[in-house]
Amino acid sequence: MNTMESFVMNKPRVAIVRYRDRADSVRTAVDLSGGLDRLPAGARVFLKPNIVFWTRTVDFPKWGVITTSRVIHDMVLLLKERGIDDITIGEGTVVFDPKDRETAAHAFETLGYGVLKQRYGVKCVNVFERPFEKVDLGDGVTLNFNTDIMGSDFVVDVPVLKTHAQTVVSLGIKNIKGTIDINSRKKCHSADPQKDLHYMVSKLALKLPPSFTILDGIFTNERGPAFDGKMRRSDVLVASADMLSADKVGAKILGYDTSQVPHLAYAAREMGRSLDLSDLEVVGEKIEDVAMPLEYTFPYNEAGTLPKPMEKMNIQGLAYPKYDLSLCTYCSMLTGAVLMAIASAWKGEPWDDVEILTGKMMKPTPGRKHTILLGKCLYTANKNNPDISHMIAVKTCPPSPQAVIKALHEAGVEVNPAIIENVDKGPALFIKRYEGKPEFDESLFRID
């Protein structure tokens, strides 16, 4: 019997549940999906939330960005009910300074994980402070995974139900990216067109221990994965003991067939699974009753040379081509601040034909007067490119704010240095969108 025939006969269940109260909704999702039926007695459990971003400097929108503490707390309770005493919550949060360890600790404490430690003996680990081990994912792909997740007996994967500007959606499989080291994350954003981000992400869950996935859709995020997306209160949970099945249903709820999400299509083909939902069973709510089609990509002008809001400002003499799959997380974190600084610096006079390139794959447009290369990867790829008239290179990895400011000033773009130097304060601007709206409940990110 082949893999596909086996799945047709033993279809994994995916539960869709409306979130209504503190504990019963998560319990219902677990029970309907049979998500913990394979949990071994006395198992070492690794619980993986999604804390894609954090800053100690300012408050910022967490809704649809970070897994709610409510769902994490309820999952811990359910594990404890089943006699599980060895529970580790682990995450590798992206911070502006890769050497920063205090921010992750602040996130754990603010989200109430310290309460879980005191009350239930839960351990909390920043994966960047723990060992990694090389894992062969096949087809010549090796990545370094946190040893705590790989050494566990069971994984509870609790991502947010959201779209993603590069991978279309960010759900169960994508959430595992937070357990690999920085070099492996950069490797995922390869310039190799055959082994691109979609391909690499598709392999992240292949060697995991048995798992249960619950997609936290209490809040969802359009044009995620971070605080600059559009959040909404959705009150949906999606759960399954089969991670790919949970993701296929989660993607459908967000408005995307599996075939429209490249990393899910890759994963389905590798596992011998269908690209539709015929190889799984949906229980609970119907997909069409909770569906919320959300955009995933940030809009750019037709030429792809400027974000649409900047085009509407009639900015001229400057091109900032749309990000591609090779733009890694650490460079992308700076992009928003740079664009904001450029927009603030626009006074109506055209700049002197400046092009700003990012990622690992972009090539300069012949004839441009000034070409800014943001980051070591792009500089290495283009340092001898004859199409560059005046190269302004930011060679650090990740690009330092001071070097970026210097490069923009050299090109005649007189940005306010404070906007880029204080990049960690920028997220506070986005929280104003949600002020006075009671559905955006901060208490869901606390544990009392």
What pLDDT, on the 0 to 100 scale, is given for residue 22? 67
Question: What stretches in the chain show pLDDT beneath 50?
Answer: 1-7
What stretch of H or E contains 149?
helix 147-150
Break the chain into its structural domains and give their ranges: 3-296, 308-415
Domain 3-296 architecture: 3-Layer(aba) Sandwich (3.40)
* pLDDT attached to residue 7: 47
- Rounded to whole angstroms, how far apart are CA atoms 95 and 330? 8
User: How far apart (Å, rounded) are the C-alpha atoms in residues 329 and 188?
Assistant: 10
For residue 330, what pLDDT is reported? 83
Element (H, E) at 419: helix 417-421
Q: What is the pLDDT of residues 1-37, one digit of tens each?
A: 444 444 456 899 999 999 997 669 999 999 999 999 9
CA atoms of 232 and 162, how far apart (whole Å): 10
Q: How far is CA 423 from CA 56, 361, 419, in A?
A: 12, 25, 6
Q: How far apart are CA 279 and CA 268, in angstroms?
A: 11
d(CA 245, CA 239): 9
How high is the pLDDT of residue 6? 46
Q: How far apart are the first and last CA of the chain?
A: 50
